[in-house]
Amino acid sequence: MAETADAGGERVVVLAHGKFPERAKTAVGVLKYSNDEIVAVLDRDRAGTVASGHRSDLPEVPIVASMAEAPEADTLLVGIAPIGGGFDESWRPDVRTAIERGCDVVAGLHYFLSEDDEFAALADEHGVALRDVRKPDPDLGVAEGRSADVDADVVLTVGTDCSVGKMTVSLELVEAARERGIDAGFIPTGQTGIMIAGWGNPIDRVISDFTAGAVEEMILEIGDDHDVLFVEGQGSIVHPAYSAVTCGILHGAMADSLVLCHEAGRESVHGYESFGLPPVPEYVDLYERLAAPVHEGEVVAGALNTRGIDDDSDARAAIESFADDLGAPAADVVRFDADAILDAILGGEKQPEGRSASGSGGG
């Protein structure tokens, strides 16, 4: 899938009925990080309010009840996903209206809009595209071990678990790098990242033999056009269900630098609570040693998600402690800033043990 949409500039409506913002990860991600212009959010429960009224880190985008009330747009993006990835039939009128108004529709559901008879016929009639980003590219193949050949340095976010913020860390690092004038590219691997970036392979949906190959394909596609690539990691290398995806990304990316992402206080696998998380240094050692035979990559920094800690000074202490465990600088890129991590990546060298730095900018 080409990086065409990365240029941005489209006018986009984001569907998030009944779930905005807390349970609308994709919608919030698109509002925060997309290069496109978000002109409205659809949430019939919050119509008449604005996105920034719900979360101060979001732009002042109006929330309306239906597509019929949305301003002119190029694209409707489905920004929520029910458990199981099904299509909620209450969304049908909005999708229908969008197509009739000439909008493309983008979705990351397991249910493919392009295979829905009504939508397919209507889209054909109105000359618009239905883009199911979880539908893998049929031309993918096995990795050839070539990702390290690109001009860009490759940075991969890896995790101690699912849902610790790897996508957010990757996107914040892209933004922070661009603010320093570095030509940074983003390699999305999950449906939210793909919808934000406007291109990409949904690694969790490709056939398992092509896991590494689907990452390599993206890196080869844009790796010579950027100075640094930030690859969105998935899962964890010791996850009972998802480690295959993590391992394929690790070897497919052939990253020069790894950023270990963790949530403060997380002690067991999310949703698999009988499985405890290993100690942080064990993760560092496992990721580095597992990567090494394919490509040497070092955990140069850590990203700690401190959303569960109320007090800023407690959060700073947690970051300091995480950095000590890592033997590398750490930061919370959302609560504070990404400077310490970016310095470690660009410095290209691990800080000496004990000389760890915490996120020091914001707060």
The span of 60-68, 174-182, 217-225, 269-277 binding a second copy (CB under 8 A) equals 269-277
Nearer to a second copy, 246 or 306 (CB): 246
* SS3 state of residue 184: strand
Contact 235, 246 (CB under 8 A): yes
Which of 301, 134, 153 lies closest to 231 in space, CA to CA? 153
| Interface pick for a second copy out of 47, 120, 244, 346 (rule CB under 8 A) | 244
Q: Which stretch binds a second copy (CB under 8 A): 1-9, 137-145, 311-319, 351-359?
A: 137-145
What is the C-alpha separation between 92 and 160, in angstroms, rounded? 38
Report yes or no: 136 and 201 within 8 Å, Cβ to Cβ: yes
Among 65, 220, 294, 346, binds a second copy (CB under 8 A): 294
| Site residues (CB under 8 A) for a second copy, limited to 140-159 | 142-145
Interface with a second copy, residue 211, by CB under 8 A: yes
Q: How far is 96 from 99, CA to CA, in rounded Å?
A: 5
Q: Is the dihedral of CA 329, 333, 336, 339 positive or negative?
A: positive
Using DSSP's 3-state secondary structure scheme, residue 257 falls into strand
86: which DSSP letter? P
Stretch that binds a second copy, among 4-12, 69-77, 101-109, 200-208 (CB under 8 A): 200-208
326 contributes a contact to a second copy by CB under 8 A: no
| Residue 105 near residue 131 (C-beta atoms within 8 A) | yes
Q: Compute the least distance from the CB of residue 146 to a second copy, in Å.
A: 9
Residue with tokens 């199911």: 132
Residue 110 CA to residue 134 CA, distance in Å, equals 7
Size of interface with a second copy, in residues (CB under 8 A): 43
Smaller CB distance to a second copy: residue 240 or 347? Answer: 240
Instruction: For the CB of residue 341, give the shortest distance to a second copy in the complex, in Å.
Output: 25
Residue in 171, 194, 247, 341 binding a second copy, rule: CB under 8 A: 247
198/191 Cα distance (integer angstroms):
10
> Rule CB under 8 A: is residue 135 a binding residue for a second copy?
no
Q: Does 139 bind a second copy (CB under 8 A)?
A: no
Q: CA 142: distance to chain centroid?
A: 23
Task: State residue 2 phi and psi, 5-degree precision.
Answer: -75, 155
Tallying the residues shown for the chain, one arrives at 363
Cβ-based nearer residue to a second copy, 68 or 292: 292
Which are the contacts of 351, defined by CB distance < 8 A and separation ≥ 6?
Answer: 327, 328, 329, 344, 357
> Is 138 a residue that touches a second copy (CB under 8 A)?
no
- Give the nearest distance from C-beta 136 to a second copy in angstroms: 8
Of the listed pieces 38-46, 61-69, 291-299, 355-363, which binds a second copy according to CB under 8 A?
Answer: 291-299
Q: Which stretch binds a second copy (CB under 8 A): 54-62, 268-276, 322-330, 346-354?
A: 268-276
The conformation of residue 322, written as its DSSP 8-state character, comes to: H
Q: For residue 180, how many other CB atoms are within 10 A of its CB?
A: 10
Stretch in the footprint of a second copy (CB under 8 A) among 57-65, 241-249, 304-312, 332-340: 241-249
Closest CA relative to residue 184, chosen from 149, 154, 210: 154
Residue whose CB is less far from a second copy, 216 or 339 = 216
* Nearer residue to a second copy within complex by CB, 56 or 289: 289
For residue 278, the minimal CB distance to a second copy (Å) is 5
User: Which residues of the chain form contacts with a second copy (CB under 8 A)?
Assistant: 142-145, 203-213, 237-248, 250-251, 272, 274-278, 282, 285-286, 289-290, 292-294
